[in-house]
Amino acid sequence: MLCSTFVGSIYRIAGMKLFKTLVKPPVWMRFLFPNVTWKKSNSNSIYLTFDDGPTPEITDFVLQELENYNAKATFFCIGKNVLEHPEICAKVAAHGHTLANHTMNHIKGWKVSTEIYLQEIEDCNEALQKVFPNKKVNFFRPPYGKISPSQIQKVSGEYEIVLWSVLSCDYDESLNSNDVVENVIQYAQSGSIIVFHDTTKAFPRLKAALPKVLAHFSEKGFQFSTL
Q: Which of 85, 97, 102, 197 is catalytic?
A: 197
172 among known catalytic residues: no
Q: Are 59 and 197 in contact (CB under 8 A)?
A: no
Catalytic residue among 51, 52, 179, 198: 51
Q: Is 52 a catalytic residue?
A: no
Active site residues: 51, 197
